Structure 1
Amino acid sequence: MKKILIIGPSWVGDMVMSQSLYRELKQQHPDSSIDVLAPAWCKPILSRMAEVDNAIEMPLSHGDVKLAERYKIGKSLRTKGYTHAYVLPNSAKSALIPFFAKIPTRTGWTGESRYGLLNDIRPNKKAFTFMAERYVALAHPKAEMRDSSSLGGLTNIPWPVLQLDNTLVRATANKFNLGLELPVVGLCPGAEFGPAKKWPTAHYAELTKLLIDNGYQVWLFGSQKDAETTSDIILQQPDTHQDKIVSLAGKTSLEEAVDLLSLCQYVVSNDSGLMHVAAAVGCHVIGIYGSTSPSYTPPLTDQVDIINTDIECRPCFKRECPLGHLRCLKEISPTSVLRKIIHA
């Protein structure tokens, strides 16, 4: 039986997409066990993945090397009897713990001087178009994985599906006094990556008014960092709309956000982690792309509309607009987004 340790990614969206690998491994080896070593914030996501047996908290922060501590962690894992490790981040430090744990087979893509730390190293990551494909390709023998066509394309790999408990979902809605008398549109106006991913707050505010005018209620999602943005959106609404909009930014745990997103018929989101969560709980996702591209990290769902401009300077993959105009986002009108909902 395979006993697998995954060194997980550190971003919400990447963690959601990594489930494609876990599902593929379980399909190939139904009796295998899968543990994921990841930051503490990942546990609410991992707890919703049926394929994951244990989430092991990574005590070191994303940028820490701390060789002695990584050795200590690796040594403590030797008693677990892992037969395989899959290292999803690209850094050399992320490959140290499986090496110190003496896991016999250690698989990952070529990264920062990882030869020796990994003994099943894959050299052709860029031959796979999508991040989810790159994860899934690691589950297959190296000789069989030439490029995306080896997997049969994005639609031929397992997509993330986060588990939901209807009783818990209802309890979460009750906790925040959220009713379902009107259909719900969730808005995710934040982007941890940077402002070049953020559709303007004024556009979100205008979309909110249009949605309420058309019979919807609006729930605003995000972290505490997004609370100022969501407050601005609410302040721009007329008094008659205030009882049909609520900001949940910074008020929910990540697990509660998963539950509440599942109650939304539509979710409008920047290219962010919550966009991928919404896709994995069955929402119709409307993804707004600025500096990044759906050609690498699209929401993995059949219910999706991607909106972006075609100006010549995108995608630049920058955190801030290098030309200072942010046209790639400003030129996406609220009415163009609304049409994806009221004419769906």
Structure 2
Amino acid sequence: MRKEGIRRIVVRGPNWLGDAVMCEPALSRVRTLFPQAEITLLVKPGIADLLAQHPAVNRTLVYDDRGRHAGLVGKWSLAAVLRRHRFDLAILFQNAFEAALISFLAGIPRRFGYATDGRTLLLTDPVTVPPRAAQRHQVEYYWDLLKPLGGHGPAPAPRLYVTPDESALIAGRLADAGIGPSDLVIGVNPGSTYGHAKRWLPDRYAEVVNRVVKEAQGQSDARVGVAILGAKGEEPLGKAIADQIKTRTVVCSGQTTVRELMALVKRCQLFLTNDTGPMHVAAAFKVPLVAVFGPTDWQTTSPFGVDAKLVRQPVSCAPCLLRECPIDHRCMTGVTVEQVHDAAVQHLPLVAPPPAVEPASPSPSPSSTSLAGVTVFLDRDGTLNLDTGYVKSPDDFTVLPGVGAALARLKQAGARLVVVTNQSGLGRGYFTSRDLEAIHSKLRLVLAEDGVTLDGLYFCPHHPDDHCNCRKPARGMIDRAHAELQVDLSRSYVIGDSVRDVELAKQVGAQSLLVMTGPSGAEALADLTARDLPPDYVAEGLSQAVDWIVAHATHRPAADLQR
């Protein structure tokens, strides 16, 4: 396959929430294999929400198989829509016969997928299904599909993204239930839309939660709240458990969208769950979790790439993969409270959530000169844009929501904005200097829509093994800005999402702000705290970081911004 001839790709994603999460590394890999192609994701409505604004995707088409795309007429209608897009290639992560049939009817010239479900003749590029004896994890199963297209190396862990606004919405919902932003939250996911066979006993969930809450409270001064999750129809199950829990509990079963569920799971400090979609969501956000397995195969669908604690009762009939148990449900009734409790306490003590800014009054509106002489140094990946690993082209580059408006406030107040970013992908050969220039041109164009111009943009192109003096946390880029822009370092701030950004700030004598918009914010905060190098401020996102800078730089009372 001549990749340079592939301009438009449609990716048929999985139908189930958990499968879609496990497919995320492969979806991101499609972007790196075809960096210049326009990628369209074809998925059902719930999966469209899960992967909304994913950096690998240019467009999403919704497959409404219960509405306008139901039946043969609906399938033909969908094929006609795909035909109008003139796709060059279809990559089918969804294994059903109909996925191949629709792409065939759409006239897509290259149709790539596993040779399964009797669809081999409909595929131009059928890929042999790995043998069952291989026991490949589902993440690896999706990842391996791309090997004939040039994919290689081990599969990374899935990653998901929520916006600061979505996190703030969930914070408000929890606050209404008496659970504050500094409280520990234990999430409980006792249901399963797949079938009752995957459900552990609700009374046992309640008993485990009560024990863990008591121990967590004994190990820290933080208050502990409980959030119970579930799909529509599982509200009685959630309420039955909540009635037995001896602390503040909010039942969110059937009350959240997919995006709200993601934000709620991300907010948890511990997650107790059956083998379901939300379990994989928790793993993608690296939330400490305990998963109870019964009829499903823990070797192929366990949380991937995280330190999850699995609890199962080995019985001769498992894994049976049945929705309902035809006998005595021994795989679940055999799992004891003690087993799940012992697994949960291995995650204690729970790490408290980072401080968040929740101003009681509107955000301060600085005057046009109140930040004159102030310089704000900004990390790039994870701070200004989604961190997808190595951003290799403008198509991979997505500015985080609210970034432009937040930076506009600083510029309007007279502050100077300077980006300092490590870009070892140049030294590693992952992309060219021309690619990086195009990415930064896109950054400037996006910021210009909010009236923001950058005063400087410095990047380190070196491989980490080069031991240069500019790769953060080394201070080379800051020193260049100091010399070229006459920066007053005593009135400077460094905003970033990683340990090295905070270390850099402390080296140059700047105020350090850690934002939690990157993929490893919690780990960075824990590492810095353990080393007694706490940032001067921790913010949920860039807008909250700007609030603190305005208060700090103008010597306004900022006590209400601290926790």
The answer to whether structure 1 residue 228 and structure 2 residue 236 are counterparts is: yes
The answer to whether structure 1 residue 289 and structure 2 residue 289 are counterparts is: no
The answer to whether structure 1 residue 56 and structure 2 residue 57 are counterparts is: no
CA distance in 1, matches of 2:65, 2:293: 32
The answer to whether structure 1 residue 80 and structure 2 residue 85 are counterparts is: yes
Task: Report the TM-score, using the length of structure 1 for normalisation.
Answer: 0.88
Report the Cα offset of residue 236 of structure 1: 2.2
CA distance in 1, matches of 2:87, 2:157: 25
The aligned counterpart of 2:270 is 266
Amino acid at match of 1:137: D
- Indicate how the Cα distance of structure 1 residues 314 and 113 shifts in structure 2: closer, same or farther if over 3 A, else same: closer
Amino acid at match of 1:56: L
Report the Cα offset of residue 48 of structure 1: 5.2
Report the Cα offset of residue 106 of structure 1: 0.4
2:171 to 173, 176, 188: 173
Report the Cα offset of residue 258 of structure 1: 0.3
Amino acid at match of 2:227: W
Residue correspondence of structure 1 range 36-55 to structure 2 within 5 A: 36-47=41-52, 49-55=54-60
CA distance in 2, matches of 1:233, 1:227: 10
CA distance in 1, matches of 2:193, 2:211: 26
Report the Cα offset of residue 212 of structure 1: 2.4
**Which stretch of structure 1 is more off in the superposition, 276-285 or 125-134?**
125-134
CA distance in 1, matches of 2:335, 2:98: 40
The answer to whether structure 1 residue 133 and structure 2 residue 134 are counterparts is: no
Residue correspondence of structure 1 range 109-148 to structure 2 within 5 A: 109-126=114-131, 129-141=136-148
2:337 to 326, 334, 337: 334
The aligned counterpart of 1:162 is 160
CA distance in 2, matches of 1:40, 1:277: 17
Residue correspondence of structure 1 range 243-254 to structure 2 within 5 A: 244-254=248-258
The aligned counterpart of 2:433 is none
Q: Look up the SS of the partner of 2:131 in the other structure.
A: helix
Q: Look up the SS of the partner of 1:55 in the other structure.
A: strand
**After superposition, what is the alpha-carbon deviation per residue over 1:133-161, rounded to whole angstroms, capped at 9, x for unaligned?**
2211222218x89xxxxx66xxx113211
CA distance in 1, matches of 2:38, 2:157: 19
Amino acid at match of 2:33: Q
Q: Look up the SS of the partner of 1:141 in the other structure.
A: helix
Report the Cα offset of residue 65 of structure 1: 6.7
Contact 2:10 2:90 in 1 (8 A): yes
Contact 1:48 1:162 in 2 (8 A): no
Contact 1:283 1:303 in 2 (8 A): no
CA distance in 1, matches of 2:334, 2:251: 26
Identity %: 26
Q: Look up the SS of the partner of 1:4 in the other structure.
A: strand
Q: Look up the SS of the partner of 1:102 in the other structure.
A: coil
**After superposition, what is the alpha-carbon deviation per residue over 1:27-56, rounded to whole angstroms, capped at 9, x for unaligned?**
222223321111112222011532122221
2:101 to 72, 96, 101: 96
**Which stretch of structure 1 is more off in the superposition, 269-278 or 1-10?**
1-10
Report the Cα offset of residue 75 of structure 1: 2.1
**Which stretch of structure 1 is more off in the superposition, 268-277 or 327-336?**
327-336
Amino acid at match of 1:327: R
The aligned counterpart of 2:211 is 210
Contact 1:109 1:125 in 2 (8 A): no
Amino acid at match of 2:229: F
Q: Look up the SS of the partner of 1:229 in the other structure.
A: helix
1:308 to 306, 312, 337: 312
Contact 2:162 2:259 in 1 (8 A): no
Contact 1:50 1:163 in 2 (8 A): no
Contact 2:186 2:226 in 1 (8 A): yes
- Indicate how the Cα distance of structure 1 residues 335 and 96 shifts in structure 2: closer, same or farther if over 3 A, else same: same
Q: Look up the SS of the partner of 1:338 in the other structure.
A: helix
Report the Cα offset of residue 70 of structure 1: 1.8
The aligned counterpart of 1:148 is none
Which structure is higher in RCO with an 8 Å CA cutoff and minimum separation 6?
A: 1
Amino acid at match of 1:306: L
The answer to whether structure 1 residue 183 and structure 2 residue 191 are counterparts is: no
Report the Cα offset of residue 174 of structure 1: 0.8
CA distance in 2, matches of 1:68, 1:116: 22
**Which stretch of structure 1 is more off in the superposition, 171-180 or 193-202?**
171-180
Contact 1:205 1:234 in 2 (8 A): yes
Report the Cα offset of residue 182 of structure 1: 2.8
Contact 1:6 1:86 in 2 (8 A): yes
CA distance in 1, matches of 2:120, 2:334: 46
Alpha-carbon RMSD across the aligned residues, in angstroms, is 2.2
The aligned counterpart of 1:15 is 20
Amino acid at match of 2:24: Q
Report the Cα offset of residue 164 of structure 1: 2.4
> Which structure has the greater CA radius of gyration?
2
Q: Look up the SS of the partner of 1:203 in the other structure.
A: helix
Task: Report the TM-score, using the length of structure 2 for normalisation.
Answer: 0.55
CA distance in 1, matches of 2:343, 2:97: 43
**Which stretch of structure 1 is more off in the superposition, 30-39 or 122-131?**
122-131
